[in-house]
A = this chain, B = another copy of it.
Amino acid sequence: MSDLVEFRHLKYIAAIAETANFTRAAERLFLAQSSLSKQIKDLEGGIAIDIFRRNRDGVYATAAGQMLASYALEAIRMRDEIVKAARAVHRGEVPVLRIGFSCFVSPKILQTFSDAYTSLFPECPTQFSGGDPSQILRHMQTGTLDGAILPMPINGEEWVVEHIASAPLVVCMRVDDSLAQRMQIQVSEIPKRLRIFRSPEAHPSAHNRLVEMLTEIGIHPDVSNLAASPSDIQWMVRSKYGLALIDQGTPLDPDLTTRPLAGLNWTADTAFVHHVSAQHLALPILIRHLKKASDRKPHKQPARTKEPKAIQLELLA
């Protein structure tokens, strides 16, 4: 039924809707007015929808016609985008997609991202490079990276940020720690032992935010042990330098374990980020894909918290 609707028709509809005039639309389409008229009339008959109302003072789209017209613009834009990208892929002209990532982003997220890109742009090469968020942002400013997967928050108007994952923030401890007996940890139990943090320079806003949040709930953390990677953190915990807050998804040393924070539902959120002026041809398609996918993930892990997932700390992933 709707197979009668071709892109050609969408183009015609869009042109008529814009000009509100068959004759001028036909000119713009390099078409005779009569041809356009006939095409639309046949279509209207075929799909049983009056698209335009022809009046003394111009042509306007009916309600249904307005829907089709706005859809038309979007559909044509998307088609052109995809065809352009596909052609670039075919010619092998898709430049390597250079992605930066923080080592605090879990491998699973990187894998998911990489898989998504590969399914969208098969056989197109990627280059992943780890580093400090602040370094990575600089690289994106200078154009030596196309995008990045980073812990939130990322501040500034110059960044396009698309949230892609979030995982609970949990307390990391030795398996033989007395706290490991418990299912959950009360915040009030650990203020003095929470002493391991990530280097503030690497991602200042996230660090500041974490400290501030802890302060708000009455913990004044002793930020003395600084780690530059999850394995540093885990080594410190193993060596009894203190406890740490880590992303639940982090692959864990067998001597260590994690426990959720009672009541609190802080999450470590991860985003795909690119500079507003980034050029890579895959970015619009990639972002659109991530946007669609973003709604499914939250559904996968909702059973964990009995309480509504509520406080969200967009924090180091």
Contact = CB atoms under 8 A, between A and B. Distances in A.
A187 to B, nearest CB: 7
A68 B86 contact: yes
State the main secondary structure of chain A at its contact with B: helix
Interface string A118-156: 011111100000000000000000000000000011010
A270 to B, nearest CB: 14
Interface in A48-91: 48-50, 62-68, 70-71, 75, 78-80, 82-87, 89-90
A35 to B, nearest CB: 15
Interface string A31-57: 000000000000000011110000000
Interface in A259-317: 263-264, 266, 291-292, 295, 302, 307-315
Interface in A195-247: 205-206, 208-209, 212-213, 215-218
Contacts of A65: 86
Given A291-B295, A311-B311, A75 B79 contact: yes
Contact of A67 (B62, B85, B187, B309): B85
Interface stretch (A5-13, A20-28, A101-109, A249-257): A5-13
A181 interface: no
Contacts of A120: 67
Contacts of A71: 78-79, 82
B209 A310 contact: yes
Contacts of A87: 47-49, 64
A73 B11 CA distance: 20
A89 B49 CA distance: 9
A5 B78 CA distance: 12
A279 to B, nearest CB: 19
A67 B86 contact: yes
Nearest to A206: B308
Given A187-B216, A263-B212, A153 B310 contact: yes
Contact of A263 (B216, B218, B312): B216
Contacts of A212: 263, 307, 310
Given A64-B86, A71-B78, A205-B307, 15 more contacts: A2-B80, A3-B8, A5-B7, A5-B79, A6-B6, A47-B87, A49-B90, A63-B89, A64-B89, A152-B308, A162-B295, A205-B308, A208-B308, A310-B314, A311-B312
